[in-house]
Every structure is written in C-alpha cells, then in structure tokens.
Amino acid sequence: MADESAAKRYYDDFSGWYERERMRGYHAMIDDLEVEATLPYARGRDVLELGCGTGLILERVAAVARSAVGLDLSRGMIEKAHARGLSVANGSVTALPFADESFDLVYSYKVLAHVPDIDLAIAEAARVTRSGGHMLLEFYNPWSVRYFAKRVGRPGKISAGRKEDEVFTRWDSPRAIRRRIPSNCSLVDFRGVRVLTPAAFVHKVPVVGDALRMGERMATDSRLNRFGGFLIAVIRKR
C-alpha cells in the first residue's frame, strides 16, 4: 500500500507535464508504434487500457473499438483523460474493478515496469480478458540500448520537483516474461519498440531523426524486436 501511495503522488505530479513532449518527435513515434500494435486487436472489440494516463493512446484506440475503458492509479491523469470524453476509472492494476472475462483486449504500456507485484497485475489482466482474447503487455527490457542509456545517463525530470528515478522500476528480459505468463495463456509473439534509438534527443537531429523513425518502424516486427527497450508481449488467453 505504501508503494501504491507513493506511485499515486508521483503520477499526480507527472500529470501536469505528461503531454509536454508527447505530440512530436521521439515520444510521438513511441505512441504511434504502440497504437499500430494495438489497433488490429482492438477493432470492433471491447477494450481495456491499464494505466491510460491522460488518454492519448486510449482516444485513438476508442475510435475503432466497440467499447473502450481506461484505468489509472492517478486522479490527476484520470481528470485529463475524462476531459477528453473518455470512459475512465480510478483504480489499481493489481485489483481491477471489473468482472471476469469483460474484455476482448487488455493492453498496458509503460505501466507494468512500475508495479512491484507484477505477477498479480498480470493475473488480474488475464482474469478480465475473455477466452480467445488477447493481452498486449509492455515490459522494460534489459536486453536493449535503452537499458544501457538509462544506466549511464541522468534521470529526467517529470515535474518541477520530481525525477523519474523516484518511482519503482523493474526490467524483465524476454526469458523472464515467458516465465510470468499465466498457465491459462500463451505467448503469441513479441513486438519491439525503441530498438535502435540510443537517446530521445537524437530524433531532433534533421535527417537522422527521420531515418531513425523509419528504422524503428521496420525493426518492430523484425528479428531485432526482442531488443526493443519497450517490449510488447502479445498474449492469448485460452
């Protein structure tokens, strides 16, 4: 509970700055790649986003889904998502306020890496997913350029008074992810996001940024995808 309270305060602070860089460059590219991974599974389906933030991705997914709901721990984030006209709820990924088998697709980006009891969160995601449905769960991958960059670089600021190293963060390799999949589910594939990018600022360099964006899109489903800094596990519930 203490960890969750600290996370709430962290993300409430983050909510004020969350969209400052999200509409362009590196961050827009990451969002685009995650949306592209989601849309084929979301079209015409009942969808849940775990850790929806201010609703930037949920808004795009909701445009093609039959129904779309977002959940976030932070009331600051939820208020901004609600202002977009989205259906959102305040709650924890380790105790989802939804009935069993409520959704065809459950997806989560940049959230599970910050959940201490990750296995409970994954079990909850599987619980609310219908048989034959899918989960798209994103992990922070230690087999990546991003991991190295985070180890040698300084933590970035997420608000006027906080830095990104103030929240719990875990790293799970493709091997570790396989071991975390519930027994009633199976791994379909991985999609790699941020395979090639050494640092976000590189996307601001003319020509280089354009080339990197093209390369990242090609790498997502290539043999290099398991080296994505953000590794999306495509999981099917049996």
pLDDT confidence of residue 21: 79
Distance from C-alpha of 111 to C-alpha of 113, rounded to nearest angstrom: 5
Amino acid making up residue 100: D
Question: Where does 66-144 show beta strands of DSSP type E?
Answer: 67-72, 87-90, 103-108, 129-140
**DSSP labels, 23-82:** TSHHHHHHHHHHHHHHHHHHTTSEEEEES-TTSHHHHHHHTTSSEEEEEES-HHHHHHHH
Partners of residue 21 on adjacent β-strands: none
**18 sits in which H/E element:** none
**9 sits in which H/E element:** helix 2-14
Domains held by the chain: number? 1
Report pLDDT digits (tens) over 55-109: 999 999 999 999 999 999 999 999 999 999 999 999 999 999 999 999 999 999 9
Distance from C-alpha of 201 to C-alpha of 154, rounded to nearest angstrom: 14
Identify the CATH number of the domain in which residue 180 sits.
Answer: 3.40.50.150
Predicted TM-score (pTM) of this structure: 0.94
Instruction: Domain of residue 85: give its range.
Output: 2-237
Report pLDDT digits (tens) over 12-24: 889 888 888 788 8
pLDDT above 90 as % of the chain? 84
